[in-house]
Structure 1
Amino acid sequence: MKNGDVVSMDFGVEVGGFVSFNVQSQSTVPISIAFSESSTFAGSISDDTGSVYTSDWDKALEVSVNPDSSGHAFYQTTGEQFRGGFRYLTFNALSDVIVSNISCQIGFAPNMPDLRGSTSYFYTADSDNELLNRIYYASSYTVQTNMAPDHTGRWLPQVNPGWAYNATIGPYTPALVDGAKRDRAVWPGDLGIAGEAAVLAYGSPGREVLKNSLETLLYYQNTTGNTPGIFPYAGPSTRNFNRGALSDTYHAWTLIAIHRYTMNSGDTSWLSRYWPKISAAVQFIINNLDTTTGLEIQARSNDWGRLTSGEYSASLNALNYHALLCMASLSNNLSQAEVWRDAAEKLKTQFNVLLWDENKGLYKDNSSSTLYPQDGNSLALLYNLTTTANQAVTVSKGLEENWNSIGPVSPELPDNISPFISGVELLAHFKAGETDRAFELMRRLWGYLLTDSKFTGSTFAEGLTSNGSLYYRSAAGYNYDPAYTSLAHSWSSAPTTALVTGVIGIDITEIGGASWELRPQLGSLAHASAGFDTGLGTFEVSIEVADDVYTIDIIAPANSTGKLFLPASYRGLRLTKGYEGPDIIVETS
């Protein structure tokens, strides 16, 4: 490279960690380097990890070396120069220089010695559905890039210019963070999607990072003041944590993630150890339910980025309903569980009285609102707050009214598409049995995130605008800086869960996998298979469908029991039982 040259290197996929290379030059500062997730921003300065007052916060990192007598030196980034997510590395020549032997020491998933060692998978043999296979692995890889070691969080106050990623993520690591590039912090809402994706995609390492993330939130749980029992809105190394921000919705998301961890891991000793804290968290919800309606008035508005909040929020109360039922199912105290279930049922009844709009066929954002939210309706559908099958079908169809050619434009965050809330919607369509709609949403949104050249081609972005640009949340906190948007964000990983629990249709119904159900929804697929690990053992399911005749092979833990639900239209079944245990009960749904 000649002095003034600018050369970008493409690693081909999202990577993260420390870079190293050899240089040959007579200068002690021969080059500077810049990092980018998107080819759009691959150039002489890095994309942004810091506050977004401008679009060039990070700038480039000067490379200082001590060349030997022949001009040779070796360079490696260290410490705070950790770069969590990038695909492109750009070299800016500050003098004549030769650069060689460029590599990246991967800094994510430190609890996985073999990054390709997971035994989990999804596969469809249908040649025209290869995109679904690619979506599964990109979704799972997105989660893996966010399995973060300690001391790689964003240091506050933020460095300007440059970056410093050497802050403590939490007392328990490695942890599951929100974004590979930024914020690199534990966020409960993200865990509601990414937590289940992690345990399905990576087994024991996935359970470990989810457990550590939850223990971080349990560690910082409020125990005093007027909000005893509430979880923090975000983990350490965020401004929200430092200013003590709280969130009603993210509190409920934490409980839901605790349930998913427990169900998959079977770790009852962990559950017992933290049960007093968990009970206090449930009691926080109970204490905030209105005695007349049974719903909670949203007092703490912090959320995933939506612009409206308050009153009898549909999304909050749907989350509360599910959290109450989840925790009741884990409680060994029968009277406690009954109180929580009764509260949930009262909430559901009044949810439909106060928020359902029969003419629109959707739930309102709150009882006085004319907005029909994507999050509130998706959560209501996913968590079974609908009262009839027809109502569920109506909500599923109504949600489609938000779609454009690349995905759902969220009414509560106008002009934006959120893969987080769209992920909830994706799971909800499968839950409602609207398989074709779910597949169309997956191909439309996650297909775009995977194949459009502005993204990484290997991970899924935090969000985008309705026209597909990277100006996500420009007017809602991101100050019109597209370089700030994270392109490997764990909350966008719902397809991992959807393809396993939706398409294959397997659901753990007893702690650890001792009992399970199988409700396959292959839609137009002729074949699909998947495998994953739980604390009890391995599950593998392969399904072929031809003329409504199902051929199903199952491997499940030897001491588990299962129930198989097939569509009423099925005409035949060949079942290979790959485990030793009671016969699988077959029913229609």
Structure 2
Amino acid sequence: MARNIVFSVISALYIFSSLSFLASAATKRPWDAYNYSPASRTVKPVAVHSQSGNVTTSVGTDGTYHLTSGSRISLDFGVEVGGWINLNAIVANYTNTSTPQLSLAFAESPAFVRAISDDTGATPTQDWDQALNVTLTGGSTFYTIPTEKFRGGFRFLTINALARIEVSNITCTIGFAPHTPDLRNYGGHFYTPDDDLLMRTWYAGAYTVQTNIAPKDTGRWLPQVRPGWAYNNSIGVTGPILVDGAKRDRAIWPGDLGIQGATAFLALGGDGLESVHNALDTLFFYQNATTGRFPFAGPATGSFRNGAESDTYHAWSLIAMHNYAIWTSDFSWLETHWSNVTRGLEFILRGLDNEVGLHIQTRPNDWARQGGGGYNSALNALDYAALSSFSSLAASLSSYNRDRSELASNVSLLEQSQIWSTAAARLKAAYNTLLWDPSSHLYRDNTTTSLFPQDGNALALLYNLTSSPSRATALSTALTTFHGPIGPLTPELPDTISPFVSSIEVLSHFAACRPARALNLTRTLWGYLLDSPLMTGSTLAEGLSANGSLYYRGNAGYKSDASYTSLSHGWSSGPTVALTSYVAGLEIVGWKTWTFAPQSDGLIRNVDAAFWGPMGTFAVRWTISNAGSGGRFDFSGDITTPVGMRGTVELVWKCEAVEVDGEVYRGEVLDGGGERRVRARGCVGDEED
């Protein structure tokens, strides 16, 4: 009941904030043209994709199709959708029979529009889904597919005629984001008139994550129902819940939350934040009471059922929990879960309790990468992020919490902060001593291998594990050696392009103040994810093979079945986070603390962005002007932050003068929230290598 009250308050604040913001905004919002979300929860196909056999359309009608037995028609909804299909059907020469008169098949990619559906079960034969047989109970029927035959993600619907039949009034009732009354009314936005592809990328990431907000009881069953499918398994303790993919797995994965959770918050506002909250509640519920370890995956997965564990995903859970805490400044939530967090960090500390100061990876289950084990670089980078972020949070809470009881029962917050920061510092020193390779300017996967992974290096750059700014610059440059014509080839999973790991890399280049590199990677890989004829054109794929095909992971888990690959996977939405947090540049970085640190590659000169949190609205508009010889330019930015917060302006350029609200600014903390005017002149950026 308390949870419902909390989110009723959040929803009310969100609605009020949204209405207030819209009332003050210009009548025409140019970013709305990029929004892929449907205007209604009942959507119709927008075109016929293909047909075979004897199919005719009634003259003067919109969407009435006559099919003879053995023919089929494939309809295109224009964007990824998900939910329940409804249609009217008239069977010619109807007789009362148990024989199906039609079947329905679903596909995300144009490449797999066919008589059977995309696969969702990852079985050796990979063909259990087939198509949904429909037996009509009368000559003229309005048919709705059964609740348990919910289909989470598809763009194309194929109707296979098994008798002479007429179908019309074909619609999909949208099932995702069930608490969102207006799917197009986001909590945040991003706009620049300078780059159409970046706009499409931001909104594709937002829509991808929206399709990943699932009702509680719409998970798949494993072992899979055969033939066919059933999507009525519980995916958590409460809903709606942020899951990894629209089609599949439709389950909580903590690694995914590290990216998609931020997209949900920054793009979707209160409804996105609620889905993160409910996912974290499930991780808390299933935390191992003895070891403190968080689960590798949520319910409705084979990994959960089999008791699989993961060292990296444990750390990702803590990172997602820290993010939620600073996004909401919800002290009551922290009071409820601080013991869970503490036990989770104690699990990491036990792993670091050795002479080396690094964590040996004994549970290498991860995002699908190969290798692992030993003093794994990705694991230790994630451990460092968890320890350092909660150390900072505990120190901030100690100051905030002077007049309240301590969160910790037998150790003060300052003592906890010191324990965690000491372990993090020791880890960082060992990381650079044992894993850094000066000849390649990369970190090794562990101390016993010559593999230089994309994930470990991108995470090290993102979370500031490098020992110096020059090393960070060299590492950012070295990561580009993985780049191909479509995107980075990850060495830890051969023949693979991972938009998840590349999302981390995009964020890491921005963290190293290399915006041109980050945006070039975004335009290359995400341009392909949006514009390849294999894709949905509205959502972001789980992964690719090196040649750009959908044979992600090949035979390493997916049985070389390209139709199993998810084309709406929230872990691929990193650029949405990056464009808001680094290009627009307004970011929550700690307890009631923000920074304004915009970045540009010189091509982006105008940005308008905003996002909403329980503390209020964060908004920014900035412009680069008067670009002249020597690369110098002027900067003008207006930011709005909620009352009760504090922050700093951290321009990444060297400027002759910087002013905030008309006063010379030298980096001091700005208290009080509200509107701020930032002006800088004679600015010049670093030359990017």
TM range (shorter): over 0.9
- Once residues 543 and 405 of structure 1 are traced to their aligned partners in structure 2, the CA distance between those partners, rounded to angstroms, is 32
Q: Which residue of 1 aligns with 2:618?
A: 539
**Could you tell me how far 1:528 is from its partner in structure 2?**
1.4
- Once residues 112 and 175 of structure 1 are traced to their aligned partners in structure 2, the CA distance between those partners, rounded to angstroms, is 13
**Could you tell me how far 1:66 is from its partner in structure 2?**
1.4
Q: Which residue of 1 aligns with 2:114?
A: 43
Show CA shifts across 1:241-298 (max 9, x none): 0111110000000000001111111111111101111100000000111421211000
**Could you tell me how far 1:574 is from its partner in structure 2?**
7.4
Query: Where do residues 334-413 of structure 1 align in structure 2 (5 Å cutoff)?
Result: 334-413=414-493
Code of the aligned partner of 1:343: A
Q: Which residue of 2 aligns with 1:12?
A: 78
Q: Is the 8 A contact 2:377 2:443 kept in 1?
A: yes
Code of the aligned partner of 2:153: G
- Once residues 583 and 91 of structure 1 are traced to their aligned partners in structure 2, the CA distance between those partners, rounded to angstroms, is 57
Change in 2 beyond 3 A, CA 1:339/1:406: same
**Could you tell me how far 1:585 is from its partner in structure 2?**
8.7
Code of the aligned partner of 2:241: A
* Structure with greater contact order relative to length (CA < 8 Å, sep ≥ 6): 1
Q: Which residue of 2 aligns with 1:436?
A: 516
Q: Which of 79, 84, 91 is the matching residue for 2:159?
A: 91
Code of the aligned partner of 1:462: E
1:528 aligns to 2:596 (yes or no): no
Q: Which of 112, 117, 130 is the matching residue for 1:59?
A: 130
1:229 aligns to 2:325 (yes or no): no
1:132 aligns to 2:198 (yes or no): yes
Code of the aligned partner of 1:422: S
Q: Which of 550, 553, 563 is the matching residue for 2:635?
A: 550
Show CA shifts across 1:202-235 (max 9, x none): 11111111010011011000013xxx10001000
- Once residues 678 and 206 of structure 2 are traced to their aligned partners in structure 1, the CA distance between those partners, rounded to angstroms, is 31
SS of structure 1 residue aligned to 2:300: coil
- Once residues 464 and 146 of structure 1 are traced to their aligned partners in structure 2, the CA distance between those partners, rounded to angstroms, is 19
Q: Which residue of 2 aligns with 1:278?
A: 341
Q: Which residue of 2 aligns with 1:162?
A: 228
**Could you tell me how far 1:573 is from its partner in structure 2?**
5.8
Q: Which residue of 2 aligns with 1:244?
A: 307
SS of structure 2 residue aligned to 1:542: strand
Show CA shifts across 1:328-348 (max 9, x none): 123241111100000000000
- Once residues 41 and 544 of structure 1 are traced to their aligned partners in structure 2, the CA distance between those partners, rounded to angstroms, is 44
Q: Which residue of 2 aligns with 1:144?
A: 210
1:32 aligns to 2:112 (yes or no): no
- Once residues 431 and 225 of structure 2 are traced to their aligned partners in structure 1, the CA distance between those partners, rounded to angstroms, is 46
Code of the aligned partner of 1:166: N
Q: Is the 8 A contact 2:506 2:578 kept in 1?
A: yes
Supply the RMSD in Å over aligned alpha carbons: 1.8
**Could you tell me how far 1:575 is from its partner in structure 2?**
6.0
Q: Is the 8 A contact 2:388 2:420 kept in 1?
A: yes
SS of structure 2 residue aligned to 1:369: coil
- Once residues 624 and 677 of structure 2 are traced to their aligned partners in structure 1, the CA distance between those partners, rounded to angstroms, is 19
Q: Work out which of the two has the higher radius of gyration on C-alpha atoms and give 1 or 2.
A: 2
Q: Which of 587, 594, 597 is the matching residue for 1:516?
A: 594
- Once residues 674 and 487 of structure 2 are traced to their aligned partners in structure 1, the CA distance between those partners, rounded to angstroms, is 44
Q: Is the 8 A contact 1:171 1:216 kept in 2?
A: yes
Could you state the TM-score of these two structures normalised by the residue count of structure 1?
Answer: 0.96
Query: Where do residues 146-295 of structure 1 align in structure 2 (5 Å cutoff)?
Result: 146-224=212-290, 228-295=291-358
Change in 2 beyond 3 A, CA 1:346/1:19: same
Q: Is the 8 A contact 1:559 1:580 kept in 2?
A: yes
Change in 2 beyond 3 A, CA 1:354/1:59: same
- Once residues 379 and 673 of structure 2 are traced to their aligned partners in structure 1, the CA distance between those partners, rounded to angstroms, is 43
Show CA shifts across 1:72-122 (max 9, x none): 111111221000000000000111111100101000001211111113101
Code of the aligned partner of 1:435: P
- Once residues 274 and 21 of structure 1 are traced to their aligned partners in structure 2, the CA distance between those partners, rounded to angstroms, is 47
Show CA shifts across 1:8-53 (max 9, x none): 0000000001010000114463211100001111110001011231
Code of the aligned partner of 1:229: G
- Once residues 251 and 55 of structure 1 are traced to their aligned partners in structure 2, the CA distance between those partners, rounded to angstroms, is 30
- Once residues 312 and 556 of structure 2 are traced to their aligned partners in structure 1, the CA distance between those partners, rounded to angstroms, is 19
Change in 2 beyond 3 A, CA 1:232/1:468: same
Could you state the TM-score of these two structures normalised by the residue count of structure 2?
Answer: 0.82
**Could you tell me how far 1:526 is from its partner in structure 2?**
1.3
Change in 2 beyond 3 A, CA 1:580/1:298: closer
Q: Which residue of 2 aligns with 1:426?
A: 506
Change in 2 beyond 3 A, CA 1:489/1:254: same
1:459 aligns to 2:562 (yes or no): no
**Could you tell me how far 1:572 is from its partner in structure 2?**
5.8
**Could you tell me how far 1:5 is from its partner in structure 2?**
0.8
Deviates more, 1:51-60 or 1:155-164: 51-60
**Could you tell me how far 1:581 is from its partner in structure 2?**
5.3
Q: Which residue of 2 aligns with 1:321?
A: 384
Code of the aligned partner of 1:44: A
Q: Is the 8 A contact 1:565 1:586 kept in 2?
A: no
Gaps (5+ residues) in structure 1?
Answer: none
Change in 2 beyond 3 A, CA 1:165/1:576: farther
1:123 aligns to 2:201 (yes or no): no
Code of the aligned partner of 2:615: L
- Once residues 83 and 675 of structure 2 are traced to their aligned partners in structure 1, the CA distance between those partners, rounded to angstroms, is 48
Q: Is the 8 A contact 2:329 2:615 kept in 1?
A: yes
Aligned residues: 579
**Could you tell me how far 1:389 is from its partner in structure 2?**
1.2
